[in-house]
Chain A
Amino acid sequence: MWRLLRQIRRVGLVSEAAPAAEAAPLLNALQEKIRRVFGHALAIRHVDAGSCNGCELEIHALGNPYYNLEGAGIRFVASPRHADALLVTGPVSRHMAEALRRTYDATPDPKIVIAVGDCAACGGVFGTGYATIGRVADVIPVDATVSGCPPTPLALLQGILQAVNTPRAGTS
């Protein structure tokens, strides 16, 4: 146990490192906005609708100590019923379309949908074919897109901020 504690003490708080400082104004603005719109932490449900797994790796990175996403009042939840936002990746495969629609329907209003990565935004390298529908917006309504293959964690943060900032028809 003492080894573990010593390691924690030795490493210290890396969230204050330079790249995180770059994200700091973003995070503060985001935190403020989330409080105003949702009145509590922003709960995100991720849905892989056909991704190559690249975007998932970068979504994971958001949780590392450098970006410290939870510190900004954003957390990932296990059920769409607990979520305010869906983070959808991948060109939507035809085999995932129904699951994506059901996940969307299970998410309570008001909800926001963020299409993450080039594939989710426009179909990407996979495009449209016998097995893929392509962009997420062709399956469920999308509020914001984040481009990149895969998008960097900072681009993801910006995308979430943009989505929270975008007013939606039908929701307050």
Chain B
Amino acid sequence: MTAMQILAPELDFLPLPGALAATRVEVTQMQLLGLCQAVRDNGGRLVSLWGEDLRREHGGFRLCTALQYGLSLAIAELPLRADAPTYADLSAIFPSAARLQRATYDLLGLRALGGDARPWLRHAAWPADVFPLRHDAAAAPPSAVEPPPSAYPFVRVTGDGVHEIPVGPVHAGTIEPGHFRFSVVGEKVLRLEERLGYVHKGIEKRFEQMSASDGARLAARVSGDSAVAFSWAYAMAVEAITATTPPARAQVLRGVLLECERLANHLGDLGALGNDAGLAFGLAQFSRLKEDLLRVNAALWAQRYPMDAIVPGGLREDLRAPPSALTSVLHAIADELLRLREIYDNHAGLQDRFMGAGTVSCELAMQLGIVGMAARASGQPQDWRNEFPVPPYDAVDLRPALRTQGDVAARVAVRFEEALASIALCLQWLAALPEGGVSTPLGAAREGELGIGGVEGWRGPVFVALRLDESGRVRRCHPHDPSWHNWPALEHAIIDNIVPDFPLINKSFNLSYSGHDL
């Protein structure tokens, strides 16, 4: 009996196949509300929310919610009528459901009654009465002529001396596009409202009709900085549906790939955080270390960013160079990290900018349901590497890097600690790398069966839900980036800080636009 079953004994949880231990359960509207509330009351959280068009199969739609309570994960499926696809708003229970619900309406036309009805991912690329993820919506553009950008009803802050600063979508640096609307008095930020969806590329529609292997290439490009995490989660979902277990060597090397991705991102951000606080030295030092890692990636995987290394069934190919090439670089980076941490810790100017900036308190973190590295910096000891330890994580002892201050300094400290822990994990795995092949042929796909996959990427849990059709092509794929849960936290973190600290606070989270906008 899973923990979830204890919360809702009246529901019939069925085990799902695959490496990620989970269950699925069909629910009614009242049961879904009850289950969500019970999960929430007991400290659980919402992992993802998406919809499916099953009118051809079952004559209706389906709303899916992935819920985590302790060490159990359940997918609750709520059937919706074809002529009135509506359900009760869940955002009062899980705040991060609000934007997921709005996106689900924009793409599929499933409406949360009583929720925020403003569009989220839809700006002006398609009309309000077209729902691109429905089977009968054309994959081609709905009209040749682009309508003008739509006006978006931002929430206005009024009062003496309050003014707005609109920023984006094209930002001042080499970063992704999004719009930030600051309401400020003098330098102090009263409110930030985010407007995302600029890089919406129709990824979920693109997945449909792809072969399972082509889908891996697309999954790796949902968010380029998390290519390993997404391609692994996707491969795990395919392997679940096809009853495939990758060879031991591939499993361990997947772990190495994911930890190197975490390390590369933390190195890049630690440098950028120093730079944003006026210490260009940090950027020069850390970007050098990151480059060392990328070059050894190129030697091992033929790609500086190993986007196509993980494929369903295992790996595309074995290491192209001896593992010692990586271990020597990792040892060198570890030495440098320790030295640089001491410099960062003792730099008064830097600490002055880091400490107390962009605070997300432990209570707020729990209330908003934030995830991953940012959650651990706000006292939430959650990490899918511990909670759902798919091999090779099942054989390691990993202690979450935990801080409770929830400010930029805490996120910097967590990143230092995690970067060092990733190096230690890689060295441990590489010292005892299993022999043998790196891929297994896929079994036959079980048509229409739900397959899920998920790993703790460097930002937080990356999750993929997948169904294949009878010929093994993708019928529906929903990739979920952890940024969905953390973007709203950024709006809170900036309150009462000054506008010039925004780049620093933003970088300390470094959330994904592409992974969120899909």
Cβ-defined partner of A94 (8 Å) among B141, B221, B224, B342: B141
Chain B residues numbered 146-192 whose CB sits less than 8 Å from any CB in chain A? 146, 148-149, 169-170, 172-177
Q: Mark each residue of chain A from 24 to 52: 1 if its CB lies under 8 Å from any CB of chain B, else 0.
A: 00000000000000000000001111111
Q: In the bound complex, how far is the Cα of B124 from the Cα of A97, in angstroms?
A: 11
Cβ-defined partner of A4 (8 Å) among B177, B268, B295, B343: B343
Q: Closest Cβ of chain B: how far from A55's Cβ, in Å? A: 7
With A53-B512, A56-B176, A130-B202 known to touch, is A95 a contact of B125 (CB < 8 Å)?
A: yes
With A66-B291, A94-B146, A131-B132 known to touch, is A59 a contact of B174 (CB < 8 Å)?
A: yes
Q: Which residue of B lies closest to A49 (CB)?
A: B177
Question: Contacting chain A: which of B44-52, B63-71, B95-103, B281-289?
Answer: B281-289
When the two chains form their complex, are residues B203 and A126 in contact, meaning their CB atoms are under 8 A apart?
yes
When the two chains form their complex, are residues B173 and A19 in contact, meaning their CB atoms are under 8 A apart?
no
When the two chains form their complex, are residues B174 and A46 in contact, meaning their CB atoms are under 8 A apart?
yes
Chain B residues closer than 8 Å to A96, beta-carbon distance: 169, 177, 198-199
Count chain A residues whose beta carbon lies closer than 8 angstroms to a beta carbon of B: 53
Chain B residues numbered 34-51 whose CB sits less than 8 Å from any CB in chain A? none
When the two chains form their complex, are residues B285 and A54 in contact, meaning their CB atoms are under 8 A apart?
no
When the two chains form their complex, are residues B288 and A7 in contact, meaning their CB atoms are under 8 A apart?
no
B140 within 8 A of A: yes
Q: Mark each residue of chain A from 78 to 106: 1 if its CB lies under 8 Å from any CB of chain B, else 0.
A: 11100000000011011111110001000
B399 within 8 A of A: no
B227 within 8 A of A: yes
Most buried by B among A52, A59, A103: A52
Chain B residues numbered 77-134 whose CB sits less than 8 Å from any CB in chain A? 123-126, 132
With A53-B514, A54-B221, A60-B268 known to touch, is A4 a contact of B347 (CB < 8 Å)?
A: yes
With A51-B514, A52-B224, A53-B176 known to touch, is A131 a contact of B200 (CB < 8 Å)?
A: yes
Q: Closest Cβ of chain B: how far from A134's Cβ, in Å? A: 10
When the two chains form their complex, are residues B198 and A130 in contact, meaning their CB atoms are under 8 A apart?
no
Q: In the bound complex, how far is the Cα of B140 from the Cα of A79, in angstroms?
A: 34
When the two chains form their complex, are residues B287 and A132 in contact, meaning their CB atoms are under 8 A apart?
no
When the two chains form their complex, are residues B290 and A52 in contact, meaning their CB atoms are under 8 A apart?
no
Q: Closest Cβ of chain B: how far from A139's Cβ, in Å? A: 10
Chain B residues closer than 8 Å to A125, beta-carbon distance: 206, 217-218, 221
Q: Closest Cβ of chain A: how far from B51's Cβ, in Å? A: 17
Q: In the bound complex, how far is the Cα of B144 from the Cα of A94, in angstroms?
A: 11
With A7-B343, A53-B223 known to touch, is A99 a contact of B170 (CB < 8 Å)?
A: yes
When the two chains form their complex, are residues B281 and A8 in contact, meaning their CB atoms are under 8 A apart?
yes
Q: Mark each residue of chain A from 1 to 36: 1 if its CB lies under 8 Å from any CB of chain B, else 0.
A: 001100110010010000100000000000000000
With A4-B343, A150-B224 known to touch, is A11 a contact of B126 (CB < 8 Å)?
A: no
- B residues bordering A, Cβ < 8 Å? 123-126, 132, 137-142, 146, 148-149, 169-170, 172-177, 197-203, 205-206, 217-218, 221-225, 227, 268, 281, 283-285, 287-288, 290-291, 294-295, 298, 304-305, 307, 339-340, 342-343, 346-347, 512-514, 517
- A residues bordering B, Cβ < 8 Å? 3-4, 7-8, 11, 14, 19, 46-61, 63-66, 76, 78-80, 90-91, 93-99, 103, 124-132, 149-150, 152
